[in-house]
Amino acid sequence: MVRMKPLPSVVDFSKLFKNMISMKHYSTVVSLFREMQILGILIDGFILNSVINSYCLMHHAHFGFSVLPIYLKNGITFDVVTFTTLLRGIFDENKVRDAVELFKKLVREKICEPNEVMYATVMNGLSKSGHTQKTLSLLRLMEQGNTEPNIYIYNIVIDSLCKDGNSDTAINFLNEMKQKGIHPDILTYNSLIDGLYGLCKEGKVEDAEEVMKHMVEKGIQPNVITYNMIMDGYCLCGQLDRARRIFDILIDKGIEPNIFSYNILINGYCKKKKLDEAMQLFCEISQKGLKPDIVTYNTILQGLFEVGRIGVAKQLFVEMVSTGPAPDLYSYCTLLDGYFKYGLVEEAMSLFNKLERKTENIDIISYNIIINGLCKNGELDKAHAIFEKLSSMGLLLNVRIYTTMITGFCLQGLLDEAKDMLRKMEENNCLPDNVTYNVIVQGYLRCRKINEMVTFMKEMTGRGFSFDATTAEFLVEAISENPSIVDMLPELHSEIKK
């Protein structure tokens, strides 16, 4: 382009810059702009704004300000786009105070008249930085001027309020915008739903339900997602009756529950070990023309094993394999954990061997289930063999799997092996945690090897760890048999004397 005679127009160069920015070649835009200056090629406001935008997108807004004198030198007027770009760049660098000061200066010195985009940029920056009240104040300031708030402005305010857990005020703003003839869009509703979700997660489900009633009063009909959130909130709080009431209201309103609705309620029932109710809902899914998904099956499987209904769990797994969805690793882990829990070691190992042959995606969590299950069922040698196999495979072993192996040794009274494993994990840069130390201290207490226990107790104290309830029980039991143990524990002895 620069070699052409005559030169392409400034519009052509502008199009080139625009495309390069969309392709994220920001540094190239800056480099080519410098070349244009050297060659004396004509530039305009769009070119300069593109350069400022490129600096800001590279998080160098301060370099963007160095472009401003070029406007003056070339007789090009600053416009609202120029400063909006700079404001957005400053906010992106989390320099909120600098952005606010620049905005105040623009308004105070009448450098440029803010438009909807500039107001939205500043309000969005304030909102994302947690300055909700300042965002609201700016909305009111905007209303006093010549710029009318639009849907985008209201969405920023409503989203900010919902993130603060102030959904009730957000509903009022929704009503205000509707009175002004501004129709809410999908972003408005998404913010309100997120607000409800936030309340539900915090356990304020009744507040969330109250906000939903306000929505209805203001003419906003909740959809299946809204009802699902309220249901999930009640399930998280263990209030299944209320969750079921919301499910029934959903149906009464003529809204079709989706698979998420069923999964939420099934999970709630399984957590409370109400498997009859969970199975009833499970059977209802296909009657409603829906299909259980992987989450549905995994939830039911885990629930059945929790209450010892092993036969039904096996039958369900067979159904899952034959009709779908295909079991995932979580499904197999649920089955393995269930088999080990009820002493079905052979079935567990048979399933595990099949799993090893058919997939390369077995993770460290799966191996931990196997090792833990074998240890708890007295198959320590097999567990140790699998552990050693993992080490030879070069897998990165975590603190949990080491602790599982140490637990196995301690339960069998093999304290030297447990101690060796503890040192081995440290050598492999896997530091023991509070659980690891409690397990090994319990092992020594169980065997009444107090001197060695004291050594580990001092070690764990030095690392900032403390006894858990089980370790404390073992210690109390040991002291009741031999009170002189207290004298061996200086820290404990001083506490007792206090």
Cβ atoms 170, 191 nearer than 8 A: yes
pLDDT the model gives residue 145:
83
Q: Are 230 and 205 in contact (CB under 8 A)?
A: yes
What are the DSSP calls for 78-91, one per residue? P-HHHHHHHHHHHH
293: confidence class by pLDDT, cuts 50, 70, 90: very high
Residues 327 and 300: their CA atoms lie apart, in Å, by 13
Residue 225's pLDDT is 87
pLDDT of residue 497: 41
Mean pLDDT of the region 153-171: 88
* pLDDT surpassing 70 at residue 12: yes
Q: What is the pLDDT of residue 493?
A: 43
Percent residues over pLDDT 70 in the chain = 97
- 3-state secondary structure at position 470: helix
- Structure confidence by residue, pLDDT tens digits, 191-226: 887 787 877 777 778 877 877 777 777 677 788 988
pLDDT of res. 280: 95
- For residue 382, give both structure tokens: 């097999």
Q: pLDDT at residue 136 above 50?
A: yes
Alpha-carbon span 291 to 284, nearest angstrom: 10
Quick one: pLDDT at residue 498?
Answer: 41
pLDDT in tens, 45-59: 999 999 999 999 999
pLDDT at 496 over 50: no
pLDDT digits (tens, 9 = 90+) for 431-465: 999 999 999 999 999 998 888 888 888 888 888 89
Mean per-residue pLDDT for 355-384?
87
**Burial tier of 359 (Cβ tally within 10 Å: 0-12, 13-18, 19+):** exposed
Which of 17-31, 327-341, 454-468 is the least confident region?
454-468
d(CA 239, CA 372): 33
Is 214 exposed, middle or buried, given 0-12, 13-18 or 19+ CB atoms closer than 10 A?
middle
Report helix, strand or coil for 2.
coil
DSSP structure class, residue 320: H
The CA distance from 362 to 383, in Å, is 16
* Domain spanning 397-498: CATH 1.25.40.10: yes
As a residue count, the chain comes to 498
pLDDT of res. 303? 96
CA nearest to 132, candidates 175, 73, 195: 195
- SS3 of 212-272: HHHHHHCCCCCCHHHHHHHHHHHHHCCCHHHHHHHHHHHHHCCCCCCHHHHHHHHHHHHHC
Instruction: Decide if 335 contacts 317 (C-beta within 8 A).
Output: yes
- For 30, residues 6+ apart whose C-beta sits below 8 A from its C-beta are 51, 54, 55
CB-CB contact of 196 with 226 (8 Å): yes
pLDDT at 494: 43
Report the pLDDT value the prediction gives residue 236, as an integer from 0 to 100. 87
Question: Where do the structural domains in the chain lie, given as residue ranges?
Answer: 397-498
146-169 mean pLDDT: 89
- List Cβ neighbours of 322 (8 Å cut-off, separation of 6 or more): none
| Of 286, 323, 281, 311, residue with least CA distance to 299 | 281
How sure is the predictor about 495, in pLDDT bands with cuts at 50, 70 and 90?
very low
Closest by alpha carbon to 264, among 301, 220, 291, 225?
225
Rounded CA gap, 498 and 378, in Å?
44
Peptide bond into 292 cis (omega under 30): no
Q: Classify 467 in phi/psi space as left (phi over 0), alpha (psi -120 to 50) or beta.
A: beta
Give me the numbers of helices (H) and strands (E) for the chain, helices first please.
29, 0
DSSP, collapsed to helix, strand or coil, labels residue 1 as: coil
> Could you tell me the pLDDT band of residue 490, with boundaries at 50, 70 and 90?
low
Residue 152 burial (10 A CB sphere; 0-12, 13-18, 19+) = middle
Most confident of 174-178, 272-276, 445-449: 272-276
Q: What are phi and psi of 149, to 5 degrees?
A: -60, 140
Q: Which of 138-152, 156-170, 283-297 has the highest mean pLDDT?
A: 283-297
Asked if 417 and 383 touch (Cβ cutoff 8 Å), the reply is no
Whole-angstrom distance, CA of residue 289 vs CA of residue 120: 45
Average pLDDT over residues 384-402: 87
Pairwise CA distance, residues 135 & 113, whole Å: 19
Collapsed DSSP state (helix, strand, coil) of residue 195? helix
The DSSP-derived string for 58-112 is TT-HHHHHTTHHHHHHTTPPP-HHHHHHHHHHHHHTT-HHHHHHHHHHHHHTTSS
pLDDT at 22 over 90: yes
Mean pLDDT of the chain: 89
> What DSSP character marks residue 485?
G
Q: Residue 284's pLDDT is what?
A: 93
The dihedral sign for the CA sequence 367, 372, 373, 379: positive
